[in-house]
Structure 1
Amino acid sequence: MAELRTDRLLLRRWRESDLEPWAAMNADPEVREHLGDVLTPEQSNAVVALMQAEFDERGYGWWAVEALDTGAFLGRAGLDRVDESLPFTGVDIGWRLTRAAWGHGYATEAALAGLAFGFESLGLPEIVASTTVANVRSQAVMRRIGMTRDLADDFDDPSVPGGPLRRCVLYRIRP
């Protein structure tokens, strides 16, 4: 499995020591604001197991994000196949960070590393990103990394029954 390094970050395989801070992140209503309900520790652990299995299967996925200077767990970032239920296909880039890591440019830095890996190592022709209409912070990261939005691509997430998390935006980038 490839590890990715930036000036300040290590995107690496998940460790047992990541489970507790990952669960704390997923129990934080502010972190989950645009994602849905908070998760229990058991649900968070199941997500890590799934991410690891998918990474092993295809050679890319969600990396744990660590601060190089302190070794602190900051969240996750990476690439994932677009869910079959969505009205578009391809490989999706994303990030989720602890609140303490917000506002430091880590999401942008991790996303740029993920884009480089996707285009240079995987040879992807395009990478997409989606989020809720209200998630302006993630949309700002998408623009900072060079992604563009076509309003015609906006969609309703079929896994969300209704409410503010249903309407989503889609951004795209090509090498």
Structure 2
Amino acid sequence: MTEIHTPRLLLRRWDEDDLPALADINADPDVMRWTGDGSVLDLEQTADEIERWEEEWDEEGFGLFAVELLGSGELAGFTGLYVPEDLPELLPSVAIGWRLGRQFWGQGYASEAAHASLEFALQDRGLDRVLAVARVGDEASANVIRKLGMAPEKVTTDPRYGHQLAVHSIDLTEYAG
């Protein structure tokens, strides 16, 4: 099983005990504001998400990690790698993403987890390049992207929802670790 320890977090694969906590995170309109069409997800939709993420782990050798606080064992959300299949113009590529519960915002957890995921992508999985895609206006995600050292690449339109998306990238030669 793939696990990554950071000073405050455990990034790990998903288990069935994670579903209620992630469903609570996905039910918060503030958390979901910048995701998709901004709709919250129910328990069944959250279970479907986790199932898709675990399938991606099995097929690709990477995926979205559950992010657990080391001190308390609480599920804070997720971070990790995914293939942005909903944005065909970006394929073939791998992107990094994250979503944390509101109570975990503003404490550096997203940056800490995303940094560990980026290192995993470039050093452990041997990827040469990783993208980050965030809705224009999502300043919290833009801040994490800056902390990762990713460079702006382009702005595109989400074909499903019509939102402007900022695409950033970093490649192995630019990664400082």
TM-score range, shorter chain: over 0.9
> Unpaired segments of 5 or more residues in structure 1?
none
Q: What do the CA deviations read for 1:74-94 (whole angstroms, capped 9, x no partner)?
A: 000000112164322211001
CA distance in 2 between counterparts of 1:168 and 1:159 reads 12
CA distance in 1 between counterparts of 2:58 and 2:144 reads 27
Structure 1 length as normaliser, TM-score?
Answer: 0.93
Percent identical pairs in the alignment equals 40
Q: What do the CA deviations read for 1:147-166 (whole angstroms, capped 9, x no partner)?
A: 1113xx10001011x3xxx1
| Residue 120 (str. 1) matches residue 123 (str. 2) | yes
Q: CA RMSD in A?
A: 1.1
CA distance in 1 between counterparts of 2:89 and 2:160 reads 12
**Residues 85/94 of structure 1: CA separation in 2 closer, same or farther (3 Å cut):** closer
CA distance in 2 between counterparts of 1:32 and 1:139 reads 16
SS of the aligned residue for 2:80 comes to: strand
SS of the aligned residue for 1:87 comes to: helix
Aligned to 2:144: 141
CA distance in 2 between counterparts of 1:2 and 1:16 reads 17
Q: How many residues align?
A: 169
Contact 1:86–1:158 (8 Å) recurs in 2? no
1:139 Cα offset (Å): 0.5
CA distance in 1 between counterparts of 2:12 and 2:128 reads 24
Q: What do the CA deviations read for 1:116-173 (whole angstroms, capped 9, x no partner)?
A: 11111111111000011010100100001111113xx10001011x3xxx11101111
Aligned to 2:113: 110
Aligned to 2:175: none
> Unpaired segments of 5 or more residues in structure 2?
173-177
The AA in structure 1 aligned to 2:60 is R
CA distance in 2 between counterparts of 1:140 and 1:8 reads 20
Aligned to 1:18: 18
- Which consecutive segments of 4 or more residues in structure 1 shift more than 3 A? none
| Residue 38 (str. 1) matches residue 40 (str. 2) | yes
